[in-house]
Amino acid sequence: MESKFNPKQIEEKVLNFWSDRSIYKLSVQKNQKGPLFRFIDGPPYTTGAIHLGTAWNKVMKDTILRYKRLQGYNVRDQPGYDMHGLPIEVKVEEDLKIRTKKEIEERIGVDKFVEHCRKFALDNLWIMNKQFARLGVWMDWENPYMTIKDSYIEGAWWALKEAYGKGALYLGPGSVTWCARCSTALAKHELEYENVKDNSIFVKFALEGKKNEFVIIWTTTPWTLPANMGVAVNPDFMYSKLKVDNEFWYVAKDMAAALLGAMGRKFEIVENISGEKMHGWKYTHPFADEIELQKKLEKENKKAHTVLAVGDDVFPNFVTLQAGSGLVHTAPGAGPEDFIVGKHFGIPAVTLIDETGTFTKDAGKFAGLRAKKDDAKFVEHLKNKGMIVHEAVVEHEYPHCWRCKKPVVYRVTDQWYIGVTKLRSKMISENKKIKWTPDWAGDRWFHSWLENLQDWCISRQRYWGIPLPIWVCQKCKHTKLIGSREELGVKVKELHRPWIDNVVLKCEKCKSEMKRVPDVLDVWLDSGAAPWASLPFPEGGKKILDKWFPTDFIIEGKDQIRGWFNSLMSLSMVSHGKPSFKSVYMHGFVSDANGMKMSKSLGNIVSPDQVIEKHGSEAFRLYCIKGEAGEDLRFNWKDVEESYKALN
């Protein structure tokens, strides 16, 4: 025995001993008749080598599972991997030097692209398996659940079939968040907010029938102005008619002094009027001369281009006094909140951009410009028309695609949704029964998320994912949802695109051809189905489900409030009628010693391999389990050194 602890030598000996003697398998066999401990592994994306956060998470899981084994429990310890979706597609696009979605179909071919995605995901899975095992983590590494397997896909299809049968799955139009670079819809939980600097402009819209009178709106998204259909006021606010030089401007009374002061403009209050009385005022669209479609829409809809009194009964806090002028530019085709307001008042949602974020011919003079990217050109055009009364640069949060990191836009498209909003109150009630550690993670954070839950857009216009199992008759539009390969009734190489796209069914109603809706599922639905799709279910029947479902315990980081915890709860509630987990441990993030996020640009990344090479796995494991629930782990070498010394 060495006099000094040499982690590299000792750990290699221990790992070899475990492997040679099948110690892990013996420990599993020993507890086969013990009480069950139902655990489900939150699957990491197979996008590359593990990072410190992933390693910390797995060490925490391993610590708890080992403790349960020592107590005699028959522990379900199957590791899992998330192997579909944009996380994989974007990486493969980088490898293949693909710049646009169009290239996948025209230059690469969907079949070859999918095969590249599969190989990339599998190669990384085995790399990650070895890294986790080197950390000393005991899981069933020979039998991980993989979201790309047909059996797993059938588990997700089964859940959709259940939701469909309950009327909780529907096709509907909506103003959805859209990634122009990836050319697909995104859900709320797929957005990352970053601080950006944008043009903040105050624009005057001329009121019709009122000489030299204007409503003043404010926006940080000039690209949405071509789609403007209304100006919202709060019916409970007072608005001032201000004399500014030879013009009359309407702004919120409580914002007038500060706003005009910032502009350096002198003004005189002529009168005050309630927002309620402004409802129905007609104004001229700022681009009426440039966009012929806007003139057409105004002729067809009397409420188009009018002032709308939007109270909390229509949409809470749609018009506030926090920023701007107290009058809100409203474009139902360029934002989900605006879409709801537009639907309430019966004004149309105009989409003037295509799937690449490029303005179409319907945008008239602006055809060919790009949403968000060409904001400055819209500002310049408004300046030339003398419509901008104030301009500034503001720093604010703006949503970005979680995978390609590009700013998102909004457009109206038909998408498939899971109607979780109707289950919101039941989810909140069920959440109170779940044991959360720390308790505030469930009582405050997850509760707040559930309170603001909206219907889940699950369709994605991509290639590498679980195919949406919906076929539509080309003649009578009859729709059929398939819940399994057996129900499909057609031999197919596998359930992925493009092979599943070639399956044509016969319509039960009119005997015409039924073709599949060419979408794949939100990748978060993949992992949301894990508690049952990772089992031999539905193939294994209800007996296997009753044995291992719902899960006793899960453990993940705080980012999963809006991610995995959300998809687990939502999908299980619409398919099983109850949550899929009974207790949760939530940990924080790993940052550097100063609390900064680790990133290549900051040069502060530390890999698990570096830690193992210097101090060994056991020192890192001991270091990992010292933190408090819900708190971030500020990585520093000194504390790892202390853990190393404690083992020596």
Q: Rounded to the nearest 10 degrees, what angle do helices 564-575 and 424-431 cross at?
A: 110
**What are the C-alpha distances in Å from 39 to residues 72, 126, 621, 626?**
15, 22, 20, 22
- Omega before residue 469 within 30° of 0, cis: no
| Marked catalytic residue, from 33, 211, 600, 638 | 600
CA distance 460 to 497: 13
- List the Cα angle 564/570/571 in 5-degree steps: 90
294 is catalytic: no
| Pairing assessment for the beta strands 169-179 and 306-309 based on DSSP bridges | unpaired
CA distance 525 to 456: 10
Which helix (H) or strand (E) segment is 413 a member of? strand 409-418
CA dihedral 622, 625, 628, 634 (to 10 degrees): 60
| Tokens 């403009």 -> residue | 265
CA distance 623 to 548: 32
- At 91, the amino acid letter reads K
- List the Cα angle 309/315/318 in 5-degree steps: 70
524 is catalytic: yes
| Tokens 């619409």 -> residue | 574
- List the Cα angle 236/242/243 in 5-degree steps: 165
In 3-state terms the chain splits into helix, strand, coil percentages (rounded to 5) of 40, 25, 40
H helix runs in 385-461, sequence order = 424-431, 439-440, 447-451
Report the half-sphere exposure of 436 (CA within 13 A, side-chain side).
21
Residue among 638, 633, 612 nearest 50 (CA): 612
| Marked catalytic residue, from 564, 579, 592, 608 | 564
CA distance 229 to 308: 10
- Enter the tokens of residue 507: 């319509």
| Marked catalytic residue, from 41, 82, 374, 519 | 82
Q: What is the DSSP string of 203-231?
A: EEEEBTTSTTEEEEEEES-GGGGGG--EE
| Pairing assessment for the beta strands 590-591 and 633-634 based on DSSP bridges | parallel
Residue among 54, 163, 225 nearest 468 (CA): 163
62 is catalytic: no
Q: What is the DSSP string of 567-578?
A: HHHHHHHHHTSS
Would you say 519 and 459 are in contact if contact means Cβ atoms under 8 Å apart? yes
| Marked catalytic residue, from 138, 157, 449, 524 | 524
List beta partners, residue 213.
Answer: 248
Burial 333-351 (b: 16+ CB within 10 A, else e): bbbbbbbbbbbebebbbbb
| Marked catalytic residue, from 560, 579, 592, 608 | 560
| Distance from the first to the final alpha carbon of the chain | 13
138 is catalytic: no
| Marked catalytic residue, from 7, 41, 43, 552 | 43
Q: What is the DSSP string of 626-646?
A: TSPTT--EE--HHHHHHHHHH
Q: What is the CA radius of gyration of the chain?
A: 28
List beta partners, residue 217.
Answer: 203
- Enter the tokens of residue 566: 């959300």
| Tokens 């708890």 -> residue | 64
CA distance 522 to 516: 17
597 is catalytic: yes
- Enter the tokens of residue 525: 């639905």
Which residues are known to be catalytic?
43, 82, 524, 560, 564, 597, 600
